[in-house]
Chain A
């Protein structure tokens, strides 16, 4: 049984538009890093939106542990089962790094045995952010640090699946390596990491690579 299974997924913007995704059939399992690659316009980000329930496929089904995702409340799905690392991080600028992570925990509605703040600090330390950096407003952090905060936020409610859109897009080489190291660490912990990228370095680091055909 696959953790996440895509069956005949199709997507098109508008009824008469050209399909962006056509009859995709992918499987994703725990403990692996998957790289979804493709040329610009191939629908990488669209697929990520579908996987995170931000968009609904126009055809086909997605199964999470054999349960049709369309039967799960999309807000619950996003706040419990998948952690999304957006390309431009999408952090709340008026909050600190720590508060962004705690907010995500609160939204999930999950019960935590350890105080949320403590857990959030641990997560931020795991992605190499010091307590001092954790208490800074996100606008005062560098791009790499913000990316780490976004990853920590995605991990905050311990989802099985981590989705990341161009996770190394604007980062220098050293930071890219650091981020890839973190994803590998997560996969080794049993998470299913799905990366949408056009970076060959990231693709090389993945266990499986799915290339999206351009229609």
Chain B
């Protein structure tokens, strides 16, 4: 107890020395508090958002990996012996088109993989194909007197990509062909309203203006159509649309309009090259009804002949979009691992655009956090060196005191403890004041630095965008999904609170560390002092 009292007396009666140490510790504390608060803010922002976030994920075929595998020379077949340029370039003749063609999973597969989900997680899906107009019905945006346009809208666009074996249309020919049929209308069926919400967005760009939404479980062929399409063809709720298979005009389907929607989203000219890509020509229904149409088309068993004279099935194929939703990140990560145990091929990857967008949104804050860490370490090292030096000088000044105390019987270890208590008390008080100041300034400082970082990121992105025509903040999918150039990444641009208990505990740790490090040299010196020598030299 007397050591503590003695330490207090020593502090209060050697103000100048202790104020100097206090100021240095204060600067360290303010800097450390601000730096640690920035890191904590980044961490909190990440955790808070993640905890509130419903993560959606998709299983997709890893085409990049497949292409890389195809591009690699076949060592076993001795192909590297060929000319170097033949080996390193993409060889169309050896390209296995089946790999790309067989890259779709069935609905049953997706549902089976959903077993890797945890309690509370769910999934939804949608399917799509295109149908052509029949009779007087016209897709929106096609003029009756515009023959070229009309023709293009009714003609099946045939992009012939030939598998290996021959040369046709500039591609090695033979075997099956990939056909991309573009009808007049894109028909999309949703498994649930959740699926629709995810597709339409919750920003209010879609709105039912007449009639009602189709029943999500009904097997009736009811649908909703766009306001533009309704006006264009003078259609209203209760009317029917008769559409046909783009590859077989005799195969028709009649849909009843249950509602009419408006869509505030605009589409680009590029998108509207095919009428089905115009949002106004999107027709929505439930998945059950869509599936019934596809089943009916298969049963009709119609065929078509392609440009090479081969007969192909004209049945409508549903393009599936299957989405898994997870209540938290742990469930998602668990799914990522377990889905492969359920038999998913390594050729497929699990990805989440939500997470990618979320990670992108944190980029400036993460950058700031890393900078803050370095700043913190530098402040700690430089501050520590200054404190050590200052304490060594202090101890030299107090050598006589050490001599007197030990000469009258105080053990060196107790002298050392008293000195450490003194340093600790000064450090503690300075740390408290520094933490209070740091806590007060950390939020505005963080937000100011963050806005600067965001500006820097945006300038960098703008520069890349100007030079290369795309925003590096966007993923490839986002670039395709946002052709209007709207910003893909919504950066986290402010933090509301930064200093919390974790930061305070970290600062306590910093304080203890500084006390130990800075007093270490002093302690070693004390243990080496001999009272007789000190007092003799003083005499």
Residue contact B14 to A84, C-beta cutoff 8 Å: no
Whether A168 is near chain B, meaning CB under 8 Å from some CB there, is: no
Whether B538 is near chain A, meaning CB under 8 Å from some CB there, is: yes
1/0 per position for B402-423, CB-CB distance to A under 8 A?
0111111111000000000000
Q: Bound complex: CA of A54 vs CA of B405, how far in Å?
A: 12
Residue contact A94 to B10, C-beta cutoff 8 Å: yes
Q: A54-B531, A54-B532 are in contact. Are A92 and B406 (CB under 8 A)?
A: no
Give chain B nearest CB distance to A211 CB in angstroms. 23
Whether B528 is near chain A, meaning CB under 8 Å from some CB there, is: no
Whether A65 is near chain B, meaning CB under 8 Å from some CB there, is: no
Residue contact B410 to A91, C-beta cutoff 8 Å: no
The interface residues of chain B lying within 8 Å CB-to-CB of A87 are 539
Which of the residues B10, B14, B405, B408 comes within 8 Å of A153, measured between beta carbons?
Answer: B408
Give chain A nearest CB distance to B420 CB in angstroms. 17
Residue contact A78 to B539, C-beta cutoff 8 Å: no
The interface residues of chain A lying within 8 Å CB-to-CB of B531 are 54
The interface residues of chain A lying within 8 Å CB-to-CB of B403 are 90
Whether B334 is near chain A, meaning CB under 8 Å from some CB there, is: no
Whether B456 is near chain A, meaning CB under 8 Å from some CB there, is: no
Q: Bound complex: CA of A87 vs CA of B532, how far in Å?
A: 13
Whether B237 is near chain A, meaning CB under 8 Å from some CB there, is: no
Interface of chain A residues 73 through 112 with chain B (CB within 8 A): 75-80, 84, 86-88, 90-92, 94-95, 99, 103-104, 106-108
Interface of chain B residues 1 through 48 with chain A (CB within 8 A): 2, 6, 9-10, 13-14
A99 to chain B: closest residue by CB: B9
Whether A185 is near chain B, meaning CB under 8 Å from some CB there, is: no
- The interface residues of chain B, by DSSP majority, are classed as helix
Residue contact B13 to A103, C-beta cutoff 8 Å: no
Residue contact A106 to B2, C-beta cutoff 8 Å: yes
Residue contact A79 to B410, C-beta cutoff 8 Å: yes
Whether B535 is near chain A, meaning CB under 8 Å from some CB there, is: yes
The interface residues of chain A lying within 8 Å CB-to-CB of B121 are none
Whether B401 is near chain A, meaning CB under 8 Å from some CB there, is: yes
Residue contact B9 to A75, C-beta cutoff 8 Å: no
Residue contact A107 to B408, C-beta cutoff 8 Å: yes
Chain B interface residue count, CB cutoff 8 Å, equals 21
The interface residues of chain B lying within 8 Å CB-to-CB of A104 are 408-409
Q: A55-B532, A106-B2 are in contact. Are A94 and B9 (CB under 8 A)?
A: yes
Residue contact B406 to A75, C-beta cutoff 8 Å: yes
The interface residues of chain B lying within 8 Å CB-to-CB of A91 are 404
Q: A76-B409, A80-B409, A92-B404 are in contact. Are A86 and B9 (CB under 8 A)?
A: no
Residue contact B14 to A94, C-beta cutoff 8 Å: yes
Give chain A nearest CB distance to B416 CB in angstroms. 13
Q: A54-B532, A90-B404 are in contact. Are A95 and B409 (CB under 8 A)?
A: no
Q: A75-B410, A80-B409, A103-B2 are in contact. Are A49 and B14 (CB under 8 A)?
A: no
Q: A99-B9, A103-B2 are in contact. Are A88 and B407 (CB under 8 A)?
A: no
Residue contact B407 to A78, C-beta cutoff 8 Å: yes
Q: Bound complex: CA of A106 vs CA of B401, how far in Å?
A: 16
Give chain B nearest CB distance to A124 CB in angstroms. 16
Q: A78-B409, A99-B9 are in contact. Are A92 and B401 (CB under 8 A)?
A: yes
Q: Bound complex: CA of A92 vs CA of B407, how far in Å?
A: 12
The interface residues of chain A lying within 8 Å CB-to-CB of B539 are 87-88
The interface residues of chain A lying within 8 Å CB-to-CB of B535 are 54, 86, 90
Residue contact A107 to B407, C-beta cutoff 8 Å: no
The interface residues of chain B lying within 8 Å CB-to-CB of A49 are 532
Give chain A nearest CB distance to B154 CB in angstroms. 102
Most chain-A Cβ atoms within 10 A of its Cβ — which of B6, B406, B409, B532? B409
Give chain B nearest CB distance to A64 CB in angstroms. 15
Interface of chain A residues 192 through 213 with chain B (CB within 8 A): none
A83 to chain B: closest residue by CB: B408
Give chain A nearest CB distance to B72 CB in angstroms. 78
Residue contact A103 to B407, C-beta cutoff 8 Å: no
A116 to chain B: closest residue by CB: B2
Q: A103-B2, A106-B2 are in contact. Are A54 and B9 (CB under 8 A)?
A: no
The interface residues of chain B lying within 8 Å CB-to-CB of A75 are 406, 409-411
Give chain B nearest CB distance to A69 CB in angstroms. 14
Most chain-B Cβ atoms within 10 A of its Cβ — which of A49, A106, A107? A107
1/0 per position for A154-184, CB-CB distance to B under 8 A?
0000000000000000000000000000000
Q: A49-B532, A103-B6 are in contact. Are A90 and B13 (CB under 8 A)?
A: no
18 residue pairs of the A-B complex, CB under 8 angstroms, read A54-B531, A78-B408, A79-B409, A80-B409, A84-B407, A84-B408, A86-B407, A88-B538, A92-B401, A92-B404, A95-B9, A95-B13, A103-B2, A103-B6, A103-B408, A106-B6, A107-B405, A107-B408
- B interface vs A, CB < 8 Å? 2, 6, 9-10, 13-14, 401, 403-411, 531-532, 535, 538-539
- Across the A-B interface, the 4 shortest Cβ-Cβ residue pairs: A79-B409, A106-B2, A78-B409, A94-B13
Known: A54-B535, A108-B409. 8 other contacts (CB 8 A): A54-B532, A79-B409, A90-B404, A92-B405, A99-B9, A103-B2, A107-B409, A153-B408
